[in-house]
Amino acid sequence: MDERALERLEAMCRRFDEIEAELAAGGTFDQTRYTALVKERARLVEPVEVYRAYRATLDALEKNASLLGDPEMRELADEEERTLRVRRETLERELAELLIPKDPNDEKDVFVEIRAGAGGDEAAIFAGDLARMYARFAESKHMKVAIASESASEAGGYKEIVISLKGERPYRWFKHESGVHRVQRVPATEAQGRVHTSTATVAVLPEVDEDVEIEIKSADLQVDTFKASGAGGQYVNKTESAIRITHVPTGVVVASQQERSQMQNRERAMQMLRAILYERRQREQEEAMGSLRRSQVGTGDRSEKIRTYNFPQDRVTDHRTNHSYGNIRGIVDGDIGEIVEELLRDERARLLAGAES
């Protein structure tokens, strides 16, 4: 490992010991200080444990080297050295991954916006399928799922739907879902059994921290009230009143209907508006610099085709990792864990390659 990495790890160990001592001393903590220390300790514990195992392995290698010159111990020492070298290499790889900067948004709650694209009624039905897929996967991860706004299609599904996901690191699990999703199947309305291709776009927007400055002037907002309506479903928290906010300068429209009062819905809609305007600002800054964040797989742009769901061939293909998966019906029913994990592995590999270059 290079010198800079070792210095970082040594600093982590010192800080970890300081936190341990402070917590063990049992002094008077306010709740904010105590929570901050516990969270910091949780972030440090894994790299510190792995690094200490790494140092112990280096010490063992050094001690074992003194036995290599002993004819009676040579055979055992050779075998031990091979074992220790493999362990050292494994720990070095683990440490390299642990030192990759964490995405600061990973812990954040998100809004997942799904819009029907090309394909008419079938696109709206597919948008509904994606909404159900995400809701079921989120529930399997113990997240709180609610519909923030919806525009139902008469044929079924949604012209547009926004899902709110809270708790259990939603952005980490959903950040690679932004883009164009394509489905190939025979629609229920197709009399001659022909396969149609339809699309839906997905945007995953992390909620913006309150201390992040996003200028929104009251004079730039058009606020309308309406009654919640839509196809609904078992994961839908429907309400009787709703708020729609139009940000006039940008034309961005957001709505919320999941809360029980107009005041709560307005607050939720403003959170969505802040998330969208912040995402736009970030993208403009990235494009101005001529590059996008390395932490993303692909651009995450809504115009980028990221995945195809081919029902006749029982195959789902993610075009960023070039991996295909069977059991398409299970996947559409929410079993997307394998796909998500592969995307996270690919993200780590890209970041690791960047860190080593």
Give the pLDDT confidence of 290-306 residue by residue, as tens digits: 544 334 334 444 567 99
* pLDDT given for residue 192 in this prediction: 85
* pLDDT given for residue 299 in this prediction: 42
Burial annotation 276-304 (CB, 10 A radius, 16+ → b, else e) = bbbbeeeeeeeeeeeeeeebbbbbbeeee
Question: What parts of the chain have a pLDDT lower than 70?
Answer: 228-240, 286, 288-303, 354-357
* pLDDT given for residue 282 in this prediction: 83
* pLDDT given for residue 241 in this prediction: 79
* pLDDT given for residue 103 in this prediction: 85
* pLDDT given for residue 159 in this prediction: 95
Q: What is the pLDDT of residues 5-29, one digit of tens each?
A: 899 999 999 999 999 999 888 777 7
* pLDDT given for residue 239 in this prediction: 44
* pLDDT given for residue 295 in this prediction: 40
The length of the chain, given as a count of residues: 357
* pLDDT given for residue 124 in this prediction: 96
* pLDDT given for residue 86 in this prediction: 96
How far apart (Å, rounded) are the C-alpha atoms in residues 282 and 298?
16
Which among 297, 288, 289 has a CA at the least distance from the CA of 350? 297
* pLDDT given for residue 49 in this prediction: 97
* pLDDT given for residue 240 in this prediction: 53
